[in-house]
Each structure stands twice: as C-alpha cells, then as structure tokens.
Amino acid sequence: MSDAEGTTHDTGAPTRDPEPTPETGATRERVGDGKFGDYGGQYVPEALMPAIRELEDAYERYVLGNEDGFRDEFRRRIREFGGRPTPLQRADELSQRYDTDVYLKREDLLHGGAHKLNNALGQVLLAKYMGKERIVAETGAGQHGTATAMAAAHLGMPCEIYMGERDIVRQRPNVFRMKINGAEINEVTTGRGTLKEAISETMRDWATTVENTHYVIGSIVGPHPFPTMVRDFQALISEEAREQVLDQVGRLPDAVLACAGGGSNTMGAFHHFVDDDGVGLYAVEAGGSSLAVDEEEGVAPNSASLSTGTEGVLHGARTKLLQDGDGQIVESHSVSSGLDYAGVGPELAHLVDEERVQPVNVDDDAALEGFHRLSQREGIIPALETAHAFGYLEEHADELGDLVVVNVSGRGDKDLEAALEETEQRDIDNAPPMDELTGGL
C-alpha cells in the first residue's frame, strides 16, 4: 500500500504540510497491510475474502488516490450535507471549574448528532463508487445506524440495519429516526442483544449477499481495510481540531480526551496528534459497574477492553478483547449502548501497547454525573458515551495539563429516557430532582 512509511493518510486535501515525521520507530509506523504491530488482520470466512479484497482496492483507489474525484465529492458532501467543519469551542464554566483551559470539539453538531456520519457518509459514497446496490450496517446506540440510514437516503441506497433487541429498547428515538429515513431494522435476539451480536449478524448477512452489498461497519473494528479506512474518514475530527486549536489558542493541547467503544471517535480525535509527542491521548472506556470479569457467568460488567482485555481474535481482527481463559468472548456491559462492546479497534490496542495512548475508564455513575454536569454547566446534553470523557475530566483534570481538548462525540437526545431512568435508580448527586422530571414521562 502507498504509505507504509510513517506518513498519515488524509481523506482529502491536506490542511497542514505533510511535514516529515521524526523517525521514532515502530510506534509511528502506519502499516499498510492492515496490521498494527501484531493486531489487525483479516480473520473472516473465505466467502468474504474477495469482497474484502475488492474493498481494499476501492479504498486505495478512491479514498487514498482520489480516483474519479471521490475525495473531493466526500469533502463537499460532508461539508454541505453534514455541516463540517464542526466548531472547537472553549468551555468557559468547565475551564473555571478545573482551572484549566477546556475546549470542546463539537461533533455533536454534525448532522445526525454524532461523529458517526463522517464514516457512514464516506462508506456509503464509496459503496456507490464501487457499484454496490445495497447497504447493511450494525448499530449499538443507534447513532451509526442513524447516520448510515441518513447517508443511504441522501445517496439513494437501500439500507438494512441490524440492532440488538436490548439496544432497540434503550435507544428508541434512533430506531424511529432510522425507520423514518427509510431503513429496515432487523432485530437481533441472540446473546445479550447488544452490539457484539449485531456485528455478528451483519457479518452473516454480508456472507450471504456479498456480491451486491456493502457492509458499512460503524467503528475502527473488523477486518482490514475497515479499521484503517474508518479511521481515515473519522480523522477529519483531529485534522480540524489541530488546526483550530493552533489558530484559536496558538499552541497544541496538553491532552486530548475521547470516549472509546470500538474507538472511531477516539482515533478520529487522536489521529493527527499521534505524532505530536507532547500531546497526551486519553481513551476513556466504560468501566461499567466493576472492572472484574465473572468467568462463571461469562459476563464482564464493563466494556474496558483496552484497560483490562487480553489479545485475541474477534470479528475479523486480532485485538484486545474481554474473554475468559478459554477464549470465549464474554458479555460486556455499560450504561451506554455505544460503548457496550467486548472488543476495540486494533490500532488503538497497538497504540496502547506502545504507550502512546493512555487507556483509562470511569464507571456508570461517573458517566451519569458527567452527563448532568455538561448539561447544566455548558448547556450541552452529551450522549452517554461522550459523558464518560467528562467523567474522567472531573476526576483527573489536575493531571492533564493546562489545555485540554475533549471530543464531544455526540449529543444526548437519544439517551434522555435511559439517562433519566438510570439516574433515578442510582444516587446521582448532581442530577435535577427526578420526581419532577420522570413524573412527566
């Protein structure tokens, strides 16, 4: 592939000079064959291999090579349809609270209400360039499903979304949005009915329909080239943020924080900072209710695969996983559907091993507090996924330096019902009086 030499992929015209990166060894190497150290790869059934090869080829030609003007069209559509660039906003109240400059990268303002459209629009457009006739996708929080349904409607592609039965209940507003955009929803009832099962079921669909269908995977997970390609589409976040922070503050941040499920908003927010040694990168995972794994039950009451997982193979890639000693994947758990996954992107796993990215986590309660804090103090209702990053900021602001960028991966409209219910069940100190709120539901 074209850039095994430690340069970074851009999904469009470079906005900063491709300055020669210091040769710092394996850490900075972008591996062109889909391996990040030992992670990554293509562990998929043979029936899918030709489609994956076809996708690799399309990725190189259109996304990297701008063949037929793909990148130009993607840039135009993500601007006009998506509303990019998103602002980098100083959070005045939080800055005062922590005595640190806190800036928010406002992906919640992207069309659809989350960073997910960057990738969904890119992949649906790519599918069109490839001549595919049908789109399938999995979704956890429903944000990727919604973004994919929107992109498919926008570009005139039939679209089916797989979603776990549990998530269908937890994220009802997004189910409506997908249906209103014309997508068909396929309920997945196996396992705990969350993201892991939805991905497995979408792969099964794809194994059947691979000849005319493209699978729009929703994070930097799955077989090569998905992790690299999704990262490239999401890297718009850090491409803009880096330029904005230099422009608005005149220097690079000391830390960038992003929540991490599969890790697409995370790598999107980190990518253009990876070579900036002074910028700390913090992937905030869902600590759930506990970091322990219950081997007996096959359950981990968390989704902290970067912090606590071990190496294994799931959904097409070798990466860090929540698994038992035999290699059976355990059921993860988080108050936020979008982080509720037993795996994580191979690139993040690698950057954690290389100690370039710090894996950290906060529990469900801290995330709910973060949800209420950002809503009350900044007038931004964040997604429960995003709220984890603010939970971490609250606990560790004094260790993060003087200038912190937090990626606001999405807005919380989809979570109102779940957040209020969860808040009521727990004792969340900073929540508004619940009886007033839930009485009206």
Partner 1 sequence: MGRHPSQSHDSERDASQSHDSERDASGEEPSETRLLADGSGSDLRAAFDGEPAFVPYLAVGDPDYESSLAYVEALERGGADAIELGLPFSEPIAEGSTIQEAVVRSLDAGMTPERFFEFVADLDVDVPLVCMTYYNLLYQYGGDEAESGPRPFVERAAAVGLSGFVVPDLPAEEAGPLREACDEFGLDLVSIVAPTTEDERLEKLVDISSGYLYVQARLGVTGADVAPSDQTAESLERLGEYDIPKAVGFGISDGEQAAEIVSAGADGIIVGSALVEIVAEGYEHDRPTDDVAANLEALASELKAGARRGGEQAVPRPDGS
Ligand X SMILES: Cc1ncc(COP(=O)(O)O)c(C=O)c1O
Q: Report how far residue 334's alpha carbon sits from residue 307's, in angstroms, rounded to the nearest whole number.
A: 15
Bridging pattern class, strands 310-314 and 316-321: antiparallel
Residue keyed to tokens 């929107």: 150
**Residue 116 host element (H or E):** helix 116-129
Q: State how far the alpha carbon of 96 is from the alpha carbons of 333, 353, 372, 402, in Å.
A: 34, 34, 17, 12
For the chain, helix, strand, coil in percent to 5 are 45, 20, 35
Q: Which of 27, 95, 186, 200 binds partner 1 (CB under 8 A)?
A: 200
Q: Does 124 bind partner 1 (CB under 8 A)?
A: no
- Pick between residue 47 and residue 180 the one whose CB is nearest to partner 1: 47
C-alpha 286, offset from chain centre: 13
Residue 410's binding partner among ligand X, partner 1, none (Cβ under 5 to 8 angstroms by kind) is ligand X
Residue 114's binding partner among partner 1, ligand X, none (Cβ under 5 to 8 angstroms by kind) is ligand X
**Part in contact with ligand X (CB under 6 A); list of ranges 29-37, 86-94, 140-148, 311-319:** 140-148
Q: Which of 325, 433, 439, 440 binds partner 1 (CB under 8 A)?
A: 325
- Pick between residue 132 and residue 373 the one whose CB is nearest to partner 1: 132
User: What is the strand order of the sheet 35-36 is part of?
Assistant: 35-36, 39-43, 316-321, 310-314
Residue 49's binding partner among ligand X, partner 1, none (Cβ under 5 to 8 angstroms by kind) is partner 1
Pick the closest to residue 75 from 220, 66, 268 (CA basis). Answer: 66
User: What is the strand order of the sheet 159-164 is part of?
Assistant: 184-188, 159-164, 134-139, 213-215
Site mask for ligand X (CB under 6 A), range 164-203, x = bound: ----------------------------------------
Q: Which of 22, 45, 182, 278 binds partner 1 (CB under 8 A)?
A: 45
Q: Which of 1, 27, 43, 93 binds partner 1 (CB under 8 A)?
A: 43
What are phi and psi for residue 37, nearest 5 degrees?
60, -130
Q: Does 383 bind ligand X (CB under 6 A)?
A: yes
Q: Is the dihedral of CA 355, 230, 284, 22 positive or negative?
A: positive
**Residue 369 host element (H or E):** helix 364-378
Question: How near is the Cβ of 40 to partner 1 at its closest, in Å?
Answer: 9
Q: Report how far residue 60's alpha carbon sits from residue 44's, in angstroms, rounded to the nearest whole number.
A: 20
Q: DSSP strand E in 189-315: where?
A: 213-215, 255-259, 280-288, 310-314
Q: Does 228 bind ligand X (CB under 6 A)?
A: no
Q: Does 305 bind ligand X (CB under 6 A)?
A: no
C-alpha 66, offset from chain centre: 24
**Part in contact with partner 1 (CB under 8 A); list of ranges 118-126, 198-206, 214-222, 369-377:** 198-206
Per rule CB under 6 A, count of chain residues that contact ligand X: 21
Question: How near is the Cβ of 288 to ligand X at its closest, in Å?
Answer: 14
Q: Which of 409, 418, 423, 428 binds ligand X (CB under 6 A)?
A: 409
Question: How near is the Cβ of 34 to partner 1 at its closest, in Å?
Answer: 9
Query: Annotated active-site positions, please?
Result: 116, 138, 409
Question: How near is the Cβ of 323 to partner 1 at its closest, in Å?
Answer: 7
Contact set with partner 1 (CB under 8 A): 31, 33, 35, 38, 41-51, 190-191, 196, 200, 203-204, 207-211, 298, 311-316, 321, 323, 325-330
Contact set with ligand X (CB under 6 A): 114, 140-141, 143-144, 219, 259-266, 338-339, 383, 385-386, 409-410
